């Protein structure tokens, strides 16, 4: 399966816009994160207006992942007349929306996407290391078409994800990747990605959350570029 991204930049690289993504299965729309630059992209998306159900899965609460979530909830509820689902393992997302003035009746909160036959996509949350003052998650996403891992923000890829990828049980990996290295990393680095993935599998691995536009370098090294939403 392949995700479509509304941007591929880091929080401090607004030119490339937020590395948030979406996909549809039949008439159901699944959105992963909704940062500051994301609502304008989702607002113009025909799938948002046409969807019988909209599910927004949140990785963590940094602004480039939830900054326009309140606008999306309000727009869907008051304009499109849709009560969307907000998914995050912790109810901190509810408290954040409370502070934004978003009434709880405007959306349905779920700790996780239900694992039952009615769902078109499953999201298995995996806790990842990003910053020391916030619990963050990546997700293994599964549909009838296949599976993918979306890191959110994480310094490394969890061992169980790498094992599943190498065994062929995860088709694609989307990992936040910084070109700059640091003594206190909060994201994966290009050096880490090169050491982790040999040339033969890099066409199934995409680097997101780019701190500069080094997509030409990623292509040169064999990594896949993400599918971006067309203007």
Question: Does 117 have pLDDT greater than 80?
Answer: no
What percentage of the chain carries pLDDT values higher than 90?
94
Total structural domains within the chain = 1
Residue 133: its pLDDT value, please? 95
Rounded to an integer, what distance in angstroms lies between the CA atom of residue 45 and that of residue 48? 6
Alpha carbon distance 103, 11 (integer Å):
27
C-alpha 146: how far from chain center? 17
pTM of the model: 0.96
Q: How confident is the model at residue 198 (pLDDT cuts 50, 70, 90)?
A: very high
- What sign for the dihedral angle of Cα 184, 192, 127, 113? positive
Domain boundaries, position 78: 4-228
In this structure, are residues 220 and 190 in contact, taking their beta carbons and an 8 Å threshold? no
Task: Give the per-residue pLDDT at 65.
Answer: 98
Burial 27-66 (b: 16+ CB within 10 A, else e): ebbbbbbbbbbbbebbeebebbeebebbbbbbbbbbebbb
Return the closest-CA partner of residue 108 out of 52, 53, 28.
53
Q: What is the pLDDT of residue 60?
A: 98
Q: What is the pLDDT of residue 231?
A: 81
What CATH code is carried by the domain that includes residue 90?
3.60.15.10
Rounded Cα distance between 103 and 105, Å, is: 5
What local confidence, expressed as pLDDT, does residue 18 receive? Answer: 98
- Looking at residue 90, its pLDDT comes to 98
Phi, psi of 54 (to 5 degrees): -120, 125
Tens of pLDDT, residue by residue over 54-107, are 999 999 999 999 999 999 999 999 999 999 999 999 999 999 999 999 999 999
Confidence of residue 125 (pLDDT cuts 50, 70, 90): very high
At 1 the pLDDT is 84
Span of 32-36, 65-69, 72-76, 113-117 with lowest mean pLDDT: 113-117
């Amino acid at each position: 399966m392949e995700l479509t991204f509304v941007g591929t930049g880091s929080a401090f690289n607004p030119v490339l816009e937020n590395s948030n993504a979406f996909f549809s299965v039949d008439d159901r729309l699944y959105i992963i994160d909704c940062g500051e630059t994301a609502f304008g992209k989702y607002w113009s998306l025909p799938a948002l207006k046409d969807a019988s159900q909209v599910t927004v899965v949140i990785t963590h609460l940094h602004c480039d992942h939830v900054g326009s979530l309140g606008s999306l909830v309000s727009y869907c509820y008051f304009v499109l007349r849709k009560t969307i689902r907000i998914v995050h393992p912790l109810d901190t997302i509810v408290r954040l929306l409370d502070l934004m003035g978003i009434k709880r009746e405007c959306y349905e909160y779920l700790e996780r996407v239900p694992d039952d036959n009615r769902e078109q996509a499953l999201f298995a949350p995996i806790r990842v290391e990003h910053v020391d003052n916030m619990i963050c998650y990546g997700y293994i996403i599964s549909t009838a078409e296949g599976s993918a891992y979306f890191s959110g923000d994480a310094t490394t890829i969890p061992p169980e994800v790498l094992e599943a990828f190498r065994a062929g049980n995860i088709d694609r990996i989307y990992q936040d990747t910084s070109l700059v290295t640091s003594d206190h990393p909060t994201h994966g680095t290009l050096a880490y990605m090169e050491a982790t993935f040999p040339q033969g599998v890099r066409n199934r691995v995409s680097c997101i959350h780019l701190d500069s536009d080094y997509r030409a370098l990623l292509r040169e090294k064999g990594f896949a570029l993400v599918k971006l939403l067309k203007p």
